[in-house]
Amino acid sequence: MSVFDLDGVVQSLHTVRQQWREDQRRLLEPGGRDLPSRDALGGIVNTLKGVLFPMRLGPPDLRQESENLYIAHSLDSAMHALLAQAELELNYKRRRDDARSLTPVREDAVSRVRRFAQRLPDVRRLLDSDVLAAYHGDPAAGSVDEVLLCYPGVLAMIHHRLAHELYRLGLPLLARVLSELAHAQTGIDVHPGAQIGASFFIDHGTGVVIGETAVIGERVRVYQAVTLGAKRFPKNADGHLEKGLARHPIVEDDVVIYAGATVLGRVRLGRGAVIGGNVWLVDDVAPGAHVTQSASRDAGARVSAPKTAPADSTTTPSAVS
Amino acid sequence: MSVFDLDGVVQSLHTVRQQWREDQRRLLEPGGRDLPSRDALGGIVNTLKGVLFPMRLGPPDLRQESENLYIAHSLDSAMHALLAQAELELNYKRRRDDARSLTPVREDAVSRVRRFAQRLPDVRRLLDSDVLAAYHGDPAAGSVDEVLLCYPGVLAMIHHRLAHELYRLGLPLLARVLSELAHAQTGIDVHPGAQIGASFFIDHGTGVVIGETAVIGERVRVYQAVTLGAKRFPKNADGHLEKGLARHPIVEDDVVIYAGATVLGRVRLGRGAVIGGNVWLVDDVAPGAHVTQSASRDAGARVSAPKTAPADSTTTPSAVS
Amino acid sequence: MSVFDLDGVVQSLHTVRQQWREDQRRLLEPGGRDLPSRDALGGIVNTLKGVLFPMRLGPPDLRQESENLYIAHSLDSAMHALLAQAELELNYKRRRDDARSLTPVREDAVSRVRRFAQRLPDVRRLLDSDVLAAYHGDPAAGSVDEVLLCYPGVLAMIHHRLAHELYRLGLPLLARVLSELAHAQTGIDVHPGAQIGASFFIDHGTGVVIGETAVIGERVRVYQAVTLGAKRFPKNADGHLEKGLARHPIVEDDVVIYAGATVLGRVRLGRGAVIGGNVWLVDDVAPGAHVTQSASRDAGARVSAPKTAPADSTTTPSAVS
Amino acid sequence: MSVFDLDGVVQSLHTVRQQWREDQRRLLEPGGRDLPSRDALGGIVNTLKGVLFPMRLGPPDLRQESENLYIAHSLDSAMHALLAQAELELNYKRRRDDARSLTPVREDAVSRVRRFAQRLPDVRRLLDSDVLAAYHGDPAAGSVDEVLLCYPGVLAMIHHRLAHELYRLGLPLLARVLSELAHAQTGIDVHPGAQIGASFFIDHGTGVVIGETAVIGERVRVYQAVTLGAKRFPKNADGHLEKGLARHPIVEDDVVIYAGATVLGRVRLGRGAVIGGNVWLVDDVAPGAHVTQSASRDAGARVSAPKTAPADSTTTPSAVS
Amino acid sequence: MSVFDLDGVVQSLHTVRQQWREDQRRLLEPGGRDLPSRDALGGIVNTLKGVLFPMRLGPPDLRQESENLYIAHSLDSAMHALLAQAELELNYKRRRDDARSLTPVREDAVSRVRRFAQRLPDVRRLLDSDVLAAYHGDPAAGSVDEVLLCYPGVLAMIHHRLAHELYRLGLPLLARVLSELAHAQTGIDVHPGAQIGASFFIDHGTGVVIGETAVIGERVRVYQAVTLGAKRFPKNADGHLEKGLARHPIVEDDVVIYAGATVLGRVRLGRGAVIGGNVWLVDDVAPGAHVTQSASRDAGARVSAPKTAPADSTTTPSAVS
Amino acid sequence: MSVFDLDGVVQSLHTVRQQWREDQRRLLEPGGRDLPSRDALGGIVNTLKGVLFPMRLGPPDLRQESENLYIAHSLDSAMHALLAQAELELNYKRRRDDARSLTPVREDAVSRVRRFAQRLPDVRRLLDSDVLAAYHGDPAAGSVDEVLLCYPGVLAMIHHRLAHELYRLGLPLLARVLSELAHAQTGIDVHPGAQIGASFFIDHGTGVVIGETAVIGERVRVYQAVTLGAKRFPKNADGHLEKGLARHPIVEDDVVIYAGATVLGRVRLGRGAVIGGNVWLVDDVAPGAHVTQSASRDAGARVSAPKTAPADSTTTPSAVS
């Protein structure tokens, strides 16, 4: 009937889908969708931004004297919406694992969401430290409010600190969606499993990638296109990749990593170390050391003497601000 | 009248526009807009995502037993919307080329859109292979559904595989808009002309650039910030750049290219080769060879002996997952 | 009452907010929000895109004979909306600086917005040159309209040229929001303070970072992941970073910088210089010089003889188009 | 905290609600809403208008060759949405009746909705007759399409004929909502229980009221402000009003009732009778009789001789068209 | 496939539609919709309300100094939108009439819309007189602005005065849709053909019906549920109703008609006459006469002596204000 | 420039507006709109419906355990929005009255809105009585929830009881807008000044008009098209209509007024009186009396003996249910 002869296309698409479902051993259960929704999680994280920073990221007509009313209602709504998504993930997981559990899914989901909510004040506290770190770390920053309003690195951390709580509470799929929402907006790709201390600052940010088992201390600063990655993927006896091994760097307090630097494997960057732009690193770095590109290029990693003031006016290449 | 004295601004803007139109030899035809619409194409590709993966990317309240009805109607709508855009591109092209054609534009557009629709089952089949490649290639991937829902590399491939069909059907402008819509969301910039085999996986993805004449085999894996680019732009007798020359790399089956690597020119990366992170390559690589940065840095490109298992547990730098 | 025991969470969030406000010495003034709005500025810049390019980025049903009516009304609306945001920034600044001023904020804001409006014809003229530069600089570009419709580099320049005017008019926060809106969509991060001449072209663009005091001449072309950054952050007597120092490169007319190159500090790239892909540069480059990676890698920067045709068919690595 | 001292108001509202719930013996079950939704039903009836008249009341960009695809998908969506509402009504009813049933609610609802869907072709056929009746009955009507597009009487009949099917299928609450949606738009209040034959035409319509047990034949025409009401409400032994008694008029084929006429009780208006404007009637009228106001005014109801042509050019007061 | 067995329903609906199309001798032309759109006209009339009364019915953030810019742009948009609707009506008419015309439809439509636009200042002038009439005629009216903002009678007149212009310009279908949009909102049903002088006031309004050939002078006032209708529908030789005959009342200047009164046929209500509530009138009334219900009931129409002040403090039944 | 020659139209519209402003002695103050907004008030009343009946008219996904959070936040928002509208009305009034006041407008507005909020629990209590009256008064009503969801008479009372509070608090313009919003949806026109006791029920409702000074007792029931109006408009010495006089009926407890009845002037309908359909009344009615049309028609008003049960099974004409 249609000018495009779509009947055959519809039928072929059906055939391809059935093939996929058979290959994936999916039961053809009549019924609705069983996956968490990216849109729903986007709505939840937007509400939470207002809950965490009501007068700066909340609705424009909010007044300070109504903050708590707004937060109480919005948080309640967001937590119920999150509950629905958490149930979807838990159900999905049980179906895939063919798992039996003594705890009903709903009860389980309620408990996880409750614990998530209780973490929010700490999340806000950490984010305040990140905002201050950005303000103090970037001479171009005019105010703490500009930082919260504009900086992609701060947006990425809001998503990450929320996603990390979900990850710790056994909701890794929801966590991942939150991370990817930030990745799409900022070009910053932080795995929700990464552990990141207070006062963390990512400047510019595009192209930053931080892996699942990275551990980052306090007051660390990184610039665009920095990678904290894995060096190798060991295989197990079955020939499958080992999962869950600690395979990403440990970055101690007060480290600075300039743009384009790549740090791979379970290496340790000692307290106060400074890694220059474009440096390629697969070894540990001593506390306070300065690693620059020319050094690494010629000799594998020339290490300069430790300094007490890691961010002084000597050469610190590849910062832009 | 206005506090901003805008009359002069409106007039000056008019003058600048007229200057542009004269310089560009644009006729001042009264009438409406004659360019395809980015918003319209965004709507079409969103509908097609639901048509291709109804229970995962379609409307949240869709039920499996209604899939075909939904697809038949949505596909019909989307193809008519695409028809309108295709007519705009073909008209635009004829107007610019001052071309005469025996085929009326509408008939021509209908024929192209019909062929596009008939390619959709194959597109779905290829995308299924990409989803599986992502699932198997990333130990952090929890399920094929998580991959489809979250991974920017998969989103980029949905756009690319649709855009590539449009490109092949002589609708390069529509194709380009589709690609740029993905680029904006993922930071992955794949030219619609690039030919990419099944089971392709881009991990993390931000900063990946793949050029128009690149040819990529099956089961290839690339990481963030990889460039498959051109090395030189030859000029023709008139001093203008030659168009359409094959100028980007050929990547054979089972190659892996780690983050930040740059491969330039019509070089060939042999089957199963592994290119390390940040490597800079302007020459062919033998099948099974491993190229690492230190090698390329010191000696132009040290080539290690071929290996049967290209992704084993030896050093494969710069992966993050 | 709630299943999630949210009362304590609401209370704790209140406590954290109060702590922040005390630390930041914020008065607890009842009342509304006092910060410019990202959404409002997004709306303004969208309207301005239609004002600048009515038949290509304006509403789809606009007809050429109605252009001026549309522009007069839209510009008037946008300028009043901008006025409101400008007042917010000026008030915010006075409150923070505890400043007294003889000019009332509104009058001051009106004056700045009026001057901004009067700059729009020149902005359009510059953007026309950028569009032509993209069209001529990329052999894959099919038409000037495709360039305006699709290219992220052009979108980034629309935002930048508007943001730069705001920056010059003393509205740096509004300017910054405009820049970050483009950064989120394109992965291109240009500080609103950067001075950029006509016919500027950024190809692909993801990962480009251009700093606040950079000065760029006419007909310059840069590719993805290029950084024009600062090399060092001198401190003043108080131990705080010096602000406002000229710390980013000067790039003269007709320079080309290929993908991934990093140029740091107040160096000067002479007229017509060509900087190869991935090159790391912290020194001046003579006019017409070609700097390639292997040169810089081995010898700090091998300088080839000046050439009259800077973009000929010799090796110009890392372009993708 | 609020300037309006709302805490007490919130508390008092809570007290009033609790009082109501106790009075109504409502259990305080935590959980969501259990009533059908006016908005949801508004959406369903709008979809059904497109399903019944796709090229005239469907989406503006629908093409005739895509009608069936559109209908198949839209009808499927609407019936699933109706199913959800039907389950709400059935659950609500069982909860209120404290009823036990052998049929699960969902199965019961599916069966009712399936039968509703199967009635739609007959509903369309009846509505076609109504449209023709309006076209032929109103000399001002320019075309059948104008009638369908503009006439409130036709809109009211679309709602009524759908609502009547729901009423017959044991879903009186959904039916009532449909009727009231039309009442709000047209001022025409037809109880979903009323039985109305083909080719029914209500002109102008504001103020028309037709009661639950009214029975109306074919080719009947009524004007604005006509009431077909009950005359008395008999009580049963308990002192409560008897329910379900036939208490509204029977109107035989080809009757015309002019504006403002009131007909009360289970009277019978014989075939072809004509009731004049503002007439007050509580008795039967013989077939073909003409009842005019002056007659009724003076003598309770003067009955003129039957006529063969009931709508000829003699006085037929109070029509406006 | 569906649980509702909809295939048969879709097929039956198709059969019913085909039957209708055959009966109506509709060609089955593939293609889009050919009827004007109620939604589009609703949008146009809303824009025109802002054009006519910018500071009271225009956008809330409009400033007086921007009025003309707003009007110029909005009017231009609205007239182009109206042009599209006018073309639809003219095409529809030619198709139905199987008409040939020397004027192309577009040219014809442009001409009519241009004349419509030129009538707008007079329409505004008339509406100003209506607003004043409402303000002076209703002691409860607090201000002219309250009247414009709140009174359904004024809303009905805005629609009518616009619809009447369309009717006079040969676009009766568009005119009718405008009237019905007002009817739906106000319960006031004024045929677009009715000729109504300045300073007309309808109070309360629900149930008012005014027929196509009614002629109303200046300073007339009517209340709710007043009918100005036809008394008989003469038939022509073919047995069809005669069209276009003058069949509704003529109401001279300064007449007042109280609630519920019915006036039928081409009677003349003389200057300054007062018609009491619920009166039923089928004869002429002398200038200045007062007709009250008891009079009409007993004696057909008791006529009191003419009075110079038609609205003095003597009995004027059925006003509510 | 435009095909419609709109420049002259824009200019003429300007001239007409200026004429109006001069006639109305409006200062031409640059600036924004100064009238309350119908849309804003529509939003406020919708929020208040949810505040008053959260589980039945609130958001569909509200859960009972979150009621108070929802109410606290929504009420706070609505009261602030109402405050803005109240300030507009008070400013408008002072400007028109050229009034000086010791109380600043904002303080005055806050005080009125605070008192309004405190009346809400009583409003809910009265509305509960209205809902019960509808349920008990209409044998067709299936449940109290159906009544609240469907009945236009209940919707009109929600608006009226809120509007009446605003009227009493000196905000008659806001009150009037609320009333007209209900009038547009229901055809029921109740002036916000009318005083109406508990348990009031309007059945069907279209065409009901109740005037400003009407006083209605408890448990009163009225049907469609009932008018409680004024009989005369006395003039004062200046020839202007007297304002504020008590000119509408007093209706005592337990009265029933059937459809179409008209009661005019400051008459008193005694406790338990029953007024038949279409009756025309300008005199007092004794308690318990039954007035029927035939009586009034022949003898001015035949009065039957008082009865103890006013709504028994004897003739009570013109009810429809």
CATH of the domain at A220: 2.160.10.10
Q: For residue C39, give both structure tokens.
A: 């959404």
What chains are in contact with E, requiring at least 3 Cβ pairs below 8 Å? B, C, D, F
Helix orientation angle between A67-97 and F67-97, rounded to the nearest 10 degrees: 140
pLDDT at C300 over 70: no
For residue B76, give the nearest of D69, D77, D80 by CB distance.
D69
E182 and E71 inside one domain: yes
**Confidence band for B8, pLDDT divided at 50, 70 and 90:** confident
Quote the tokens at residue D284. 């039967």
| Buried residues in B87-118 as b, exposed as e (16+ CB within 10 A) | bbbbebbeeeeeeeeeeebeebbbebbbebbb
List E209's β-bridge partners, or say none.
Answer: E189, E227
C184-214 residue pLDDT tens: 999 999 999 999 999 999 999 999 999 999 9
Q: What is the pLDDT of residues A83-119, one digit of tens each?
A: 999 999 999 888 877 666 777 889 999 999 999 999 9
The verdict on F139 and F258 lying in the same domain is no
Chain B residue numbers with beta carbons less than 8 Å from the beta carbon of E62 are: none
Closest by CA to E245, choosing from E266, E216, E268, is E266
| Of the listed ranges A43-52, C286-295, F192-201, the one predicted with least confidence | C286-295
Whether the CB-CB separation of C78 and C48 falls below 8 Å is answered with yes
Q: Point out the least confidently predicted range of A12-26, C273-287, E180-194.
A: A12-26
Q: Look up residue E26 and give its two tokens.
A: 């509709």
| D205 in Cβ contact with F222 (< 8 Å) | no
- Residues of E with Cβ-Cβ distance to B69 under 8 angstroms: 1-2
- The pLDDT value recorded for residue E222 is 97
Size of interface D-F (CB pairs under 8 A): 180
Residue of F nearest to E204 (CA): F189
Which residues in chain C (46-65) have CB-CB distances under 8 A to chain F? 65
| B19 close to E (CB below 8 A) | no
Spell out which residues of chain F touch residue C66, defining contact as CB-CB under 8 Å.
Answer: 1-2
Is residue B263 over pLDDT 90?
yes
Q: Residues 269-308, chain F: which have Cβ within 8 Å of C?
A: none
Confidence of residue C321 (pLDDT cuts 50, 70, 90): low
Per CB-CB distance under 8 Å, the chain D contacts of F315 are: 231-232
pLDDT at B159 over 70: yes
**Domain assignment of residue D134, yes or no:** yes
Is the CB of D139 less than 8 angstroms away from the CB of E243? yes
Chain F partners of A106 at a C-beta cutoff of 8 Å? none
Rounded Cα distance, A93 and E218, in Å: 77
Residue of F nearest to D243 (CA): F139
Supply the pLDDT for residue F1. Answer: 47
CB atoms within 10 A of CB E27: 6
Kindly list the residues from chain E whose CB atom is less than 8 angstroms away from the CB atom of residue B1. 65-66, 68-69
Highest mean pLDDT, choosing among A285-294, C59-68, E80-89, E303-312:
E80-89
Would you say residue E316 lies in a domain?
A: no
C58/C133 same-domain check: yes
How near does any CA of chain B get to the CA of D50, in Å? 14
Select from B75, B110, B320 the Cβ nearest to the Cβ of A209. B320
From CA C249, how far away is CA C227, in angstroms rounded?
10
Which of C38, C34, C40 has the alpha carbon at shortest distance from C92? C34
How many Cβ contacts (< 8 angstroms) between chains C and E?
28
Q: Residue C261 pLDDT more than 50?
A: yes
Residues D144 and D281 in one domain: no
Residues D97 and D170 in one domain: yes
All residues of chain A having their beta carbon less than 8 Å from the beta carbon of residue C282 are 317
**DSSP letter for each residue of C15-70:** HHHHHHHHHTT-----S---S--HHHHHHHHHHHHHHHSHHHHS-TT--GGGHHHH
Instruction: Specify if C307 maps to a domain.
Output: no
Phi-psi region of E146 (alpha: psi -120 to 50; beta: other; left: phi over 0): alpha
Q: Same domain for C60 and C161?
A: yes
Q: What are phi and psi of E203, to 5 degrees?
A: -95, 140
**Contact with chain D for residue A10, Cβ under 8 A:** no
pLDDT per residue as tens digits for the range D159-215: 999 999 999 999 999 999 999 999 999 999 999 999 999 999 999 999 999 999 999
What is the arithmetic mean of pLDDT over F10-39? 79
pLDDT more than 70, % of chain E? 85
Statement: residue C314 has pLDDT above 60:
no
User: Are residues F168 and F261 both part of a single domain?
Assistant: no
pLDDT of residue A296: 36
Q: What is the pLDDT of residue D239?
A: 66
Average model confidence (pLDDT) across chain E: 86
- Nearest CA-CA partner of B148 in B121, B170, B129: B129
E63, closest residue in chain B (CA to CA): B2
How many angstroms separate the CA atoms of E103 and E92, rounded? 15
Smallest CA–CA separation between D32 and chain F, in Å?
4
Indicate if the pLDDT at residue C309 is higher than 50: no
**pLDDT beyond 60 at A309:** no
Is residue D241 predicted with pLDDT exceeding 70? no
Interface of A with B in 160-219 (CB under 8 A): 172-173, 176-177, 180, 183-184, 187, 189, 191, 206-207, 209-212
Tell me the mean pLDDT in the region B276-285. 92
C11 CB within 8 Å of a chain F CB: no
Residue C40 counted as domain residue: yes
Total domains in the fold of chain E: 2
Buried b (16+ CB within 10 A) or exposed e, E74-94: bbbbbbbbbbebbbbbbebbe
Q: Which of B13, B187, B235 sits opposite C313 (nearest CB)?
A: B235
d(CA F311, CA C113): 72
Q: Which is more confidently placed, E320 or D253?
A: D253
User: What is the pTM assigned to this prediction?
Assistant: 0.88
| Cross-chain residue pair E60–F14, CB shorter than 8 Å | no
Looking at the structure, do residues A216 and A128 belong to the same domain, yes or no?
A: no
Across the interface, do D69 and B73 touch by the CB < 8 Å criterion? yes
User: Would you call C146 and B29 a contact, using CB atoms and an 8 Å cutoff?
Assistant: no
Q: Give the lowest-confidence range in C155-159, E195-199, F296-300.
A: F296-300
Nearest-CB residue to B76 (from D66, D76, D77): D66
Distance of CA A127 to the CA centre of its chain: 13
- On whether both B212 and B179 belong to a single domain, the answer is no
Give the contacts of F293 (CB within 8 A, at least 6 positions apart).
Answer: D280, F276, F277, F278, F279, F317
Instruction: Please name the amino acid found at residue A230.
Output: A
Phi-psi group of D260: left, alpha or beta (phi > 0 → left; psi -120 to 50 → alpha; rest → beta)? left
State mean pLDDT over A130-144.
89
D316 touches chain B (CB under 8 A): no
pLDDT digits over D108-167, tens only?
A: 999 999 999 999 999 999 999 999 999 998 877 888 998 999 999 999 999 999 999 999
Least CB–CB distance from F68: residue in C1, C3, C65: C1
Reported as a single tens digit per residue, the pLDDT across C102-135 is: 778 899 999 999 999 999 999 999 999 999 999 9
Is residue B148 domain-shared with residue B283, that is, in the same domain?
Answer: no
Quick check: D315 pLDDT over 80?
no
- Smallest Cα distance from C313 to chain F, Å: 50
Chain D residue numbers touching A66 (CB-CB < 8 A): 1-2
Q: Please indicate whether, in this complex, the C-beta atoms of B224 and A228 are within 8 angstroms of each other.
A: no
pLDDT of D310 above 80 = no
Mutation target vs A (from D64, D65, D76; most A CBs, 10 A cutoff) = D65
Burial status of residue F293 (CB atoms within 10 A of its CB: 0-12, 13-18, 19 or more): buried
> D306 vs B66, which has greater pLDDT?
B66
Query: Pick from D2, D68, D69: which is nearest to A65 by CB?
Result: D2
Q: How much of chain D exceeds pLDDT 70, in percent?
A: 85
Contacts of C2 in chain F (CB under 8 A): 65-66, 69
Strands (E) in chain B, as ranges, are: 189-190, 195-196, 201-202, 209-210, 215-216, 221-222, 227-229, 250-251, 256-257, 262-264, 268-269, 274-275, 280-281, 290-291
- Taking residues B244-269, what's their average pLDDT? 94
Whichever domain contains F95, its CATH number is 1.10.3130.10
Residue C105 to residue E119: CA distance in whole angstroms: 44
In a domain, C299, yes or no: no
Mutation for testing the E interface, residue in F1, F5, F6 having most E CBs under 10 Å: F6
pLDDT digits (tens, 9 = 90+) for A205-257: 999 999 999 999 999 999 999 999 988 777 777 766 677 789 999 999 999 99
Q: Of the candidates D186, D215, D244, which is a domain's last residue?
A: D186
> Are residues A97 and A157 located together in one domain of the fold?
yes
Token duo for residue F81? 């929005």
* D233 at interface of F, judged by CB pairs closer than 8 A: yes
Q: Of all helices (H) and strands (E), which one includes residue B6? A: helix B6-23
Q: Is the pLDDT of residue A158 over 80?
A: yes
pLDDT at D2 (0 to 100): 61
Please give the mean pLDDT across all residues of chain B. 86
**Nearest-CA neighbor of E208 among E193, E194, E222, E192?**
E222
Of C110, C121, C52, the residue nearest C83 (C-alpha): C110
Q: What is the percent of chain B with per-residue pLDDT over 70, rounded to a whole number?
A: 85
User: Mean pLDDT of all residues in chain D?
Assistant: 86
Contact B281/B299 with Cβ under 8 angstroms?
no
Q: Would you state the pLDDT for residue B2?
A: 61
The answer to whether B70 faces chain D, any CB pair under 8 Å, is: yes
Give the bridge partners for E228, in sequence order: E210, E263
* Helices assigned H by DSSP within B218-301: 293-299
State which residues of chain E have pLDDT below 70.
1-2, 26-33, 98-100, 239-241, 293-321
CB C154 within 8 A of CB C131: yes
Whether E77 and C63 lie within 8 Å, measured CB to CB: no
Residue A307, domain member (yes or no) = no
pLDDT bracket for residue D274 (50, 70, 90): very high
E147 and E254 in one domain? no
Instruction: Establish if F106 touches chain A: CB-CB under 8 angstroms.
Output: no
Centre a 10 Å sphere on the Cβ of residue B29 and count the other Cβ atoms it contains: 10
The two tokens of residue D43 are: 């959406």
- Residue pLDDT, tens place only, C13-35: 999 998 988 888 765 454 556 78
Residue E24 lies in a domain: no
Residue D318: predicted pLDDT? 44
CA angle C148–C150–C153, rounded 5-degree value:
75
* Residues A157, A251: Cα–Cα separation, whole Å: 17
Give the closest of B1, B66, B69 to E65, CB-based. Answer: B1
Residue F315 included in any domain: no
Give the closest of A146, A149, A206 to C206, CB-based.
Answer: A206
User: Which has the higher per-residue pLDDT, A26 or B265?
Assistant: B265
Q: How far A68 CA sits from the closest chain B CA (Å)? A: 33
Query: What residue numbers bound the domain in which C62 lies?
Result: 31-186
Interval D1-49: pLDDT, tens: 467 788 888 999 999 988 988 888 765 454 556 789 999 999 999 999 9
Structure tokens at D182: 């039309």
Q: Which residues are paired to D169 by β-bridges?
A: none
Q: Is pLDDT at F251 greater than 90 in this prediction?
A: yes
